[in-house]
Structure 1
Amino acid sequence: MLNKLRILIASPASAASNNGNWQTAQRWAHFLKPQYHVEIARGWDRASNPPDLLIALHARRCADSVAACAAAGRPCILVLTGTDLYRDIRHDDDARRSLQLAQHLVLLQEAGLAELPAGLRARSAVIYQSAPALPPLPSDDGGINVAMIGHLRAEKDPVTFMRAAELASAPRLHFTQVGGALEEALAQQARLTEARCPAYRWLGNLPHADTRELLRRSQLLVVPSLMEGGANVIIEAVTSGIPVLASDISGNRGMLGAGYGGYFPVGDAAALAGLIDRFATDPAFAQGLTVECARRAPLFAPEREQAAVLRLVDNALTSHRTSS
């Protein structure tokens, strides 16, 4: 029996962090394990044997692994995150070097291609992430549950969600924030919002399965981020029939479509509150968002992502063998 080729997925996030990068690493490992020997680690230790292929899930934070892989003459697939695309590749030398060294670049939504130098687009592919379709569940009291899911850090702009919770005025609204506080100032803001706004609660970090169940019992997801590579939580909402309100940024437009009706200006809590109130009081608007999201759902099917990942990995290994 032939030995399986070895693939290392370098993820700066761990299971304990429970963020989008870790979910991507775990899902891709599941897709690849029937055909390959797959490991997930923080990076490649130069002292160990080089993998047959490296999949790196961050240009800047995995820069040493990408460079070591190139020096060892092994192929690399680099998956670009939101901070890579919309910040680091503009200013950070390590991130820029990773772009040049990786043989294949992956973006998690189509609008990200515009952020890359023209010369890199020929070796770039868009692979939408996926989630199994789970039907929505009714709210416990017939109210409208509005959720934001993501660790409390500046890039996610959780304060805009908190302020919108205080500004929204429609009846029967409940606001739930899920995610660990990576910045103490944001934790303090969440606690202050809880004290001032009875409709708002912050649950902290939850296991992924519990978070998805909470999302299924929500009627609306809010994604107010300053930057996103391709928010996995949008996929989980759309594949459960939950409509989304999102900040008008490239990463969200690439997920929901340029003409989507649920965008609001970045950081504009009043505009977000207005859309939430409209969703709660205007059935035609709410139904319109639901229909628009349903049209995007086929992009996020697990079988589609799995086929794309396997095709990319197979091509990367074949191209390396033929060029060696």
Structure 2
Amino acid sequence: MKIILITPRGPTSRTGNQVAATRWARILRQLGHQVRAASAYDGRPADLMVAVHAWRSAAAIADFKAACPDRPVVLQLSGTDIYDYITSDPGPTLRAMAQADRLVALNDLAWRVVPRRLRARLTVIHQSAAAPRPPRRPSRRAVVISVIGHLRDVKDPLRAAAAARLLPADSRVIVEQVGSAYTPQWAALARQEMAANPRYAWRGDVPPAAVRRLLARSHAMVISSLSEGGANVVSEAAVAGVPILASRMDGNVGLLGADYPGYFPVGDTTALAGLLRRIEDDPGFVRQLTQALRRLAPLFNPARERAAWRRLLAGLAPGIGGL
């Protein structure tokens, strides 16, 4: 089958949408399909469109359906689609969702914000992560807390740095952050934080190998987002066995489960500081987090994600799911 994969351009090649699209292109090719990636529909025929981000891909979906009305569209809903644009600019978002034959969400609670009339089209595919390379060896020089994600408003990116400021003077916690700043203002804020906070370092945008090395030496990873569609860094940390401290909102709870012990209220610096202290001083808490992630890790197995795509495609037309 010939598939066109629509991925809107972002400020960096390592946005969550583009990373997911690259992985899905690989999966679809492994299933025996021909995949070409584009940021807009170019009018060339295809058997199927897979589109990332409803709001940003709305025009591409409309163009494809006008040119190929009998060909299916699979639409992946991003976090900004379902937790922002669906209410702030619903026209393009809901139009794209209505035109799609299948909707893909990345967390188990996304259904709550999908219109009831479209929920039958929805399936959840958890983003996978490969076995960690290098193996995990937490730093002995400090208690390293990693923050992995671009600096943008929705990520609440400096929350862990602010929490580290509240720790006692004898704490060995340091916060290392990687990811590009989406605006000059965020870059300036990160530099100001480094100048004022000896526990914080921002490394900027780094290649995937550097991210893996940071995870390998981390004692915990913080994801403090205000909203998420389903962050792949959660999958990566879970598979690597790195304890996750997560803001309690649907995108995280829909991956980690309601009973996961490592949550803090969104935006609550004091609560996060308390969890950082427990990572440093409470081995029982660390074991509790590690055991919970060990139970969750099979959800993020690459073979499981590939099988989910095979079932999805086979459901569109028998015999096209792939090998």
TM class, shorter-chain normalised? Answer: over 0.9
Question: Secondary structure of the residue that 2:54 maps to in structure 1?
Answer: coil
> Is 1:155 matched with 2:154?
yes
* Deviation, structure 1 residue 314: 2.9
Matches within 5 A, 1:224-303: 224-303=224-303
Q: Which residue of 2 aligns with 1:118?
A: 116
* Larger mean Cα displacement after TM superposition, 66-75 or 175-184: 66-75
Q: Which residue of 2 aligns with 1:76?
A: 73
For 1:142 and 1:132, the matched residues in 2 are separated by 27
Question: Secondary structure of the residue that 1:163 maps to in structure 2?
Answer: helix
For 2:45 and 2:59, the matched residues in 1 are separated by 13
| Among 64, 69, 72, the residue aligned to 2:59 | 64
Q: Which residue of 1 aligns with 2:39?
A: 42
Q: Alpha-carbon deviations, 1:39-82, whole Å to 9, x = none?
A: 1111212xx31321111110000000111122121210000010
For 2:139 and 2:279, the matched residues in 1 are separated by 19
Two-structure CA RMSD over aligned residues (Å) = 1.7
Identity of aligned residues (%): 43
- The residue type paired with residue 234 of structure 1 is V
* Aligned partners of 1:75 and 1:317 also within 8 Å: no
Q: 1:14 to 1:41 in 2, by over 3 A?
A: farther
* Deviation, structure 1 residue 318: 4.1
* Deviation, structure 1 residue 312: 1.0
Q: Which residue of 2 aligns with 1:94?
A: 92
* Aligned partners of 2:248 and 2:263 also within 8 Å: yes
For 2:157 and 2:72, the matched residues in 1 are separated by 38
* Deviation, structure 1 residue 308: 0.6
- The residue type paired with residue 37 of structure 1 is Q
Q: Which residue of 2 aligns with 1:222?
A: 222
For 2:212 and 2:38, the matched residues in 1 are separated by 25
Question: Secondary structure of the residue that 1:132 maps to in structure 2?
Answer: coil
* Deviation, structure 1 residue 317: 3.9
Q: Alpha-carbon deviations, 1:168-206, whole Å to 9, x = none?
A: 236221210101100222211111111111121000000
Q: Which residue of 2 aligns with 1:188?
A: 188
Q: Which residue of 2 aligns with 1:26?
A: 22
* Deviation, structure 1 residue 95: 0.5
Q: Which runs of 5+ in 1 are unaligned?
A: none
Question: Secondary structure of the residue that 1:60 maps to in structure 2?
Answer: helix
Question: Secondary structure of the residue that 1:110 maps to in structure 2?
Answer: coil
* Aligned partners of 1:216 and 1:237 also within 8 Å: no
* Deviation, structure 1 residue 211: 1.0
Q: Which residue of 1 aligns with 2:5?
A: 9
TM-score by length of 1: 0.93
For 2:184 and 2:160, the matched residues in 1 are separated by 17
For 1:12 and 1:213, the matched residues in 2 are separated by 29
Number of aligned positions between the proteins: 314
For 1:109 and 1:70, the matched residues in 2 are separated by 27
